[in-house]
Homo-oligomer: A and B are copies of this chain.
Amino acid sequence: MFIALDAMGGDNAPQSNVEGAVLFAKEYKTGVYLVGDENILREELKKAGGEGLPIEIVHAPQIIGMDEPPSIAVRKKRNSSMYIAAKLVREGKAQAFVSAGNTGAAMAVSKFVVGAAEGIERPGIAVAFPTKKGKPTVLIDVGANVDCKPKHLVYFAVMGHTYIKEILKITDNPKIGILSIGEEEGKGNELVKDTYPLLKGTNLNFVGNAEGRDIFTGDFDVIVCDGFVGNVVLKTSESLGTIIVEMIKEEVKKSLITKIGALLMLPALKRFKKKADFAEYGGAPLLGTKGTCIITHGRADAKAIKNALKVASEFEKTHFNDKLKENIKNLLPEQILLNGKVA
Contact = CB atoms under 8 A, between A and B. Distances in A.
Contacts of A211: 232, 235
Contact of A239 (B212, B234, B261, B271): B212
Contacts of A238: 212-213
A181 B228 contact: yes
A252 interface: yes
B235 A236 contact: no
Interface stretch (A45-53, A55-63, A84-92, A262-270): A262-270
A226 to B, nearest CB: 8
Contacts of A264: 257-258, 260-262, 264
Given A146-B188, A211-B235, A236-B213, A247 B265 contact: no
B69 A184 contact: yes
A246 B212 contact: no
The contact size tier of chain A is 35 or more
A338 interface: no
A215 B241 CA distance: 12
Counting every copy of the chain, the complex holds 2
A264 to B, nearest CB: 3
B237 A252 contact: no
B229 A248 contact: no
A179 interface: yes
A251 B265 CA distance: 9
Contacts of A132: 243, 246-247
Given A181-B235, A255-B267, 5 more contacts: A132-B243, A181-B227, A212-B234, A217-B239, A260-B264
29 contacts: A132-B243, A132-B247, A143-B181, A146-B189, A181-B227, A211-B232, A212-B233, A212-B235, A213-B239, A215-B236, A215-B240, A216-B236, A216-B243, A228-B229, A229-B232, A232-B232, A233-B233, A236-B236, A240-B240, A247-B276, A248-B268, A248-B272, A251-B272, A252-B265, A252-B268, A255-B267, A258-B264, A258-B265, A261-B266
